[in-house]
Amino acid sequence: MKATAASFSTIYAFGDSLSDTGNAFKATASQLPPSPPYFEGRFSNGPVWVEYLAKALGLNQTNFAIGGANTDSNNTLIPGNPLNLPGLEQQIKNFTTANPTADKDGLYIVWAGANDYLAGGVTNPTQPVTNLANAVTSLANVGAKNIMVVNLPDLGKLPGTSSNSQTSAGLSTLTGFHNSGLNTTLTALSQQPGINIIPVDINSLFSRATATKEEFGFTNVTDSCLNLAAQTICPNQNEYLFWDAIHPTTRAHSFIAETALAAVGGKSIPEPSAVLGMLALGALGAAGMRKRKLTPAGQVVEAEPSRMR
C-alpha cells in the first residue's frame, strides 16, 4: 500500500546544495555560501524545496544534505576538500550507524548527482546511478520504507553551462543517461517487498518551466539573477528560474516542492514570500558579494565562478 502525505512522521533529507538548509554554511564557518547575498546559508535567495515541503506536510525535518556532495564519498564544494565535507555515501552511513532501526513512517529524501558531472569529472552515469541505488538500499536495510528519489534537471541548460555548446551538449547527454538509468534502477528496487519508492521527475518540471515560462510566472529562464562578478542582483527575483550559475531561485524551489508534494498526494505549496530586504542591492557589500572558498589553512580567497556548488 502506497503511503500518503498524511501518513509520514518526519522527513530525513540527504543530498547536495539543492537540499542543503545550512550544513555547508556551518561547516565552513559561515563562509559558503556567502550570506548575504545568499539566504541564511542556503544556496538560493530564500528557503529551499525541502523546507517548503516540510511546512506543507506539517513535519519536522532532519537534514544531512550538504553543498558539494557527490553521490559517493567525494565533496567538490572546495577544491581538494580540505575540510573533509561528506558526500552522499557518508551522509547515509552516518544516519544508518546512528539509526540501526529507522523510523518506518519517515519520509526519506535522496537527491544527488549533479556534482558528479559538474565538478567531479564523471562521464559514465553508471556509477552515480549505482551509488544512488546503494543509498536507497542502505536506507531500506535499516527499515526505511518511504524513499523519495529525485532525478536531475538538464545540466546542460544551466546559466553556468549553457554558454559553451560542446559542454552544454555533453552535460545534456549525461543527464539523459543518468535519468534513464535511475528510472530503470528505481523501477527494479520498487519491486522489493516493504519499500515504497517515490520518484520525482524534476527534469520534466524544468523543461516545462523553460518551454512555458509564463505558466510559472517567470520572465527569465536562462540567466542567473545573481551576478557575483558585477555585484548585482536582478530587481525581480521571483521572475527568474535561476538564482546563480547552477542553483534555482526560491520560487523555483517552491515549484520543486509542489512536484514532490504531488508525488505523495499532498496539498499545494504557498507562494514564496517577497524578497527579503537583506537581499536588496543595497545590502551587497563588495566583500559579501565575492564568491569565496577556503584554503586548507582556513583562509578566505576569491574563487572561480565555475566552482560554485
Q: Provide the 10 A C-beta neighbour count for residue 37.
A: 25
What pLDDT, on the 0 to 100 scale, is given for residue 229?
Answer: 87
Least confident window among 131-135, 243-247, 293-297: 293-297
Dump pLDDT digits (tens) for 4-59: 566 899 999 999 999 999 999 999 999 999 999 999 999 999 999 999 999 999 99
150/275: higher pLDDT: 150
* Residues 6 or more apart in contact with residue 150 via CB below 8 angstroms: 15, 109, 110, 111, 199, 200, 202, 260
Say if residues 39 and 283 touch (Cβ distance below 8 Å): no
267-290: average pLDDT? 44
For residue 4, give the amino acid letter.
T
The pLDDT confidence band at residue 267, using thresholds 50, 70 and 90, is low
| pLDDT exceeds cutoff 90 at 265 | no
Dump pLDDT digits (tens) for 168-189: 999 999 999 999 999 999 999 9
For every residue of 262-298, DSSP letters joined together read HHTT-PPPPPPPPPPGGGSGGG--HHHHS-EEE-TTS
The C-alpha cell of 52 is what? 517548503
The pLDDT confidence band at residue 287, using thresholds 50, 70 and 90, is very low
Helix, coil or strand: residue 233: strand
User: Which residue, 106, 96, 109, is CA-closest to 21?
Assistant: 109
The C-alpha cell of 255 is what? 515549484
Given its phi and psi angles, is residue 68 left (phi above 0), alpha (psi -120 to 50 degrees) or beta?
left
Q: Provide the 10 A C-beta neighbour count for residue 301.
A: 10
Share of the chain above pLDDT 70, in %: 84
Looking at every residue in the chain, the average pLDDT score rounds to: 88
What pLDDT, on the 0 to 100 scale, is given for residue 228?
Answer: 87
What pLDDT, on the 0 to 100 scale, is given for residue 304?
Answer: 30
What pLDDT, on the 0 to 100 scale, is given for residue 147?
Answer: 98
Specify the DSSP element, H or E, that contains 185. helix 165-189
What pLDDT, on the 0 to 100 scale, is given for residue 64?
Answer: 98
The C-alpha cell of 251 is what? 520560487
CA distance 185 to 208: 24
Dump pLDDT digits (tens) for 83-131: 999 999 999 999 999 999 999 999 999 999 999 999 999 999 999 999 9
Tell me: cis bond preceding 272? Omega within 30 of 0 counts. no
Say if residues 12 and 106 touch (Cβ distance below 8 Å): yes
143-152: average pLDDT? 98
| Distance spanning both ends of the chain, measured CA to CA | 38
Q: What does the H/E/C string look like for 18-58?
A: CCCCCHHHHHCCCCCCCCCCCCCCCCCCCCCHHHHHHHHHC
Q: Is the pTM of this model over 0.85?
A: yes
